[in-house]
């Protein structure tokens, strides 16, 4: 597979190769150096030097946990920076570690039963910006009978976008722009079974018929592409949840959202996903990416007047 992108200029390709070499070199450093030294440095830069999106983080926390004190929210904010720093280190580390090492760093509590339940079918796996979101494609190693399709949101900067594509590529993984999710599945579903992996907590594009769900003390719009795909083709839907064991090591669990066969009301798959994610965030709020402007869309007036 060629790493050459014809859309990049010569300068951009040069910068990309330099960044790739740096990432590969970083991944070869000992675990202690990466996580204990660079991880701590990254945390201090984000939290104290840059104060990265601190206002956004604190505003989101206040909206979601109105009963918390400012001191409690500030503690969660600092822990959020620690998690963000760890995920940056995890992402850079993925550029140069083997599949065997990835399996050691991301284990699964119930991949066997889930693999048996899915069988040879296609399925939708929904996760979130919670914990090691960039490591979600490691799920592909636990489901060798399906092609894992990692649905991603294109990054505006072309150099960073291409760099992230390289880092995300693993054995048996395909990367698909979220705008082409449905088309990709339609074009390839007869050739082989696929697992469509979606980070489904992103802020969706505003549209008139958008669905809103109660989530973290406020009405929230959710990206519903996973539900639309699952309902159209009767696919089972699972929620993937990672639990932190220690720096750089996690255990993932698969929870059935819908079996793809029994009747279900429109919107219920997304509603169940939102409830599962909310429960995880409430239990361990610092693991979620609060720096994202999650609530920039305003719900309809009739919903604003409705108490959650």
CA–CA separation, 160 vs 167, rounded Å? 10
Instruction: Check: CB of residue 248 under 8 Å from CB of residue 94.
Output: no
Instruction: Check: CB of residue 132 under 8 Å from CB of residue 93.
Output: no
Could you report the per-residue pLDDT of 136-194, keeping only the tens digit for each?
678 888 999 999 999 998 899 999 999 999 988 766 689 999 999 999 999 999 999 99
Task: State residue 222 phi and psi, 5-degree precision.
Answer: -125, 150
For the chain, how many structural domains are there in total?
Answer: 1
Flag whether 245 is in a domain: yes
Tell me, what's the pLDDT at 34? 98
Flag whether 5 is in a domain: no
Tell me, what's the pLDDT at 89? 97
Flag whether 253 is in a domain: yes
Instruction: Check: CB of residue 251 under 8 Å from CB of residue 245.
Output: yes
Tell me, what's the pLDDT at 305? 81
CA–CA separation, 300 vs 303, rounded Å? 5
Decide the pairing of beta strands 147-152 and 123-127: unpaired
Residue 280: give the domain boundaries: 10-304
Q: Across the strands, what pairs with 215?
A: 218
For residue 291, count other CB atoms closer than 10 A to its CB: 18
Flag whether 34 is in a domain: yes
Could you report the per-residue pLDDT of 104-118, keeping only the tens digit for each?
999 999 999 999 999
Could you report the per-residue pLDDT of 232-264, keeping only the tens digit for each?
999 999 999 999 999 999 999 999 999 999 999
Confidence of residue 308 (pLDDT cuts 50, 70, 90): confident
Confidence of residue 1 (pLDDT cuts 50, 70, 90): very low
CA–CA separation, 19 vs 17, rounded Å? 5
Flag whether 2 is in a domain: no
Tell me, what's the pLDDT at 2? 47
Tell me, what's the pLDDT at 170? 66
Q: Is 127 helix (H, G, I), strand (E, B) or coil?
A: strand
Could you report the per-residue pLDDT of 67-99, keeping only the tens digit for each?
999 999 999 999 999 999 999 999 999 999 888
Flag whether 1 is in a domain: no
Residue 3 has pLDDT above 70, yes or no: no
In 122-202, which ranges are continuous DSSP H helix? 158-168, 181-188
Q: Look at the chain and count its residues.
A: 308
Task: State residue 289 phi and psi, 5-degree precision.
Answer: -90, 85
DSSP state, 207?
-
Task: State residue 148 phi and psi, 5-degree precision.
Answer: -85, 120
Could you report the per-residue pLDDT of 34-52, keeping only the tens digit for each?
999 999 999 999 999 999 9
pTM for the model: 0.94
CA–CA separation, 43 vs 45, rounded Å? 5
Residue 63 has pLDDT above 70, yes or no: yes
Could you report the per-residue pLDDT of 182-233, keeping only the tens digit for each?
999 999 999 999 999 999 998 888 887 788 999 999 999 999 999 999 999 9
Tell me, what's the pLDDT at 186? 96
Flag whether 4 is in a domain: no
Q: Please give the C-alpha separations between residue 130 and each of 133, 216, 274, 285, in angstroms, as whole numbers.
A: 6, 14, 13, 9
């Amino acid at each position: 597979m060629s790493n050459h992108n014809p859309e990049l200029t010569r300068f951009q390709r040069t910068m990309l190769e330099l960044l790739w070499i740096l990432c590969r070199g970083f991944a070869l450093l000992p675990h202690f150096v990466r996580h204990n030294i660079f991880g701590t440095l990254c945390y201090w830069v984000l939290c104290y030097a840059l104060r990265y999106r601190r206002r956004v983080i604190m505003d989101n926390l206040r909206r979601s946990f109105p009963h918390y004190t400012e001191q409690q929210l500030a503690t969660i904010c600092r822990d959020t920076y620690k998690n963000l720093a760890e995920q940056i280190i995890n992402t850079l580390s993925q550029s140069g570690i083997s599949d065997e090492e990835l399996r050691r760093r991301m284990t699964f509590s119930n991949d066997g039963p889930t693999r048996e339940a899915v069988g040879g079918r296609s399925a939708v796996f929904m996760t979130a910006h919670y914990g090691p979101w960039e490591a979600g494609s490691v799920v592909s190693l636990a489901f060798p009978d399906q092609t894992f399709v990692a649905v991603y949101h294109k990054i505006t900067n072309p150099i960073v976008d291409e760099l992230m594509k390289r880092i995300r590529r693993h054995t048996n993984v395909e990367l698909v722009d979220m705008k082409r999710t449905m088309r990709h599945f339609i074009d390839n579903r007869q050739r082989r079974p696929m697992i469509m992996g979606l980070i489904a907590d992103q802020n969706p594009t505003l549209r008139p018929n958008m669905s809103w769900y109660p989530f973290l003390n406020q009405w929230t719009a959710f990206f519903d592409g996973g539900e639309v795909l699952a309902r159209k083709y009767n696919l089972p839907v699972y929620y993937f949840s990672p639990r932190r064991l220690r720096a750089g090591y996690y255990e993932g669990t698969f929870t059935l959202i819908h079996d793809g066969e029994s009747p279900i009301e429109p919107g219920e798959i997304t509603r169940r996903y939102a409830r599962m994610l909310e429960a995880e965030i409430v239990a361990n709020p610092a693991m979620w990416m609060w720096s994202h402007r999650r609530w920039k869309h305003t719900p309809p007036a009739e919903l604003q007047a409705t108490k959650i």
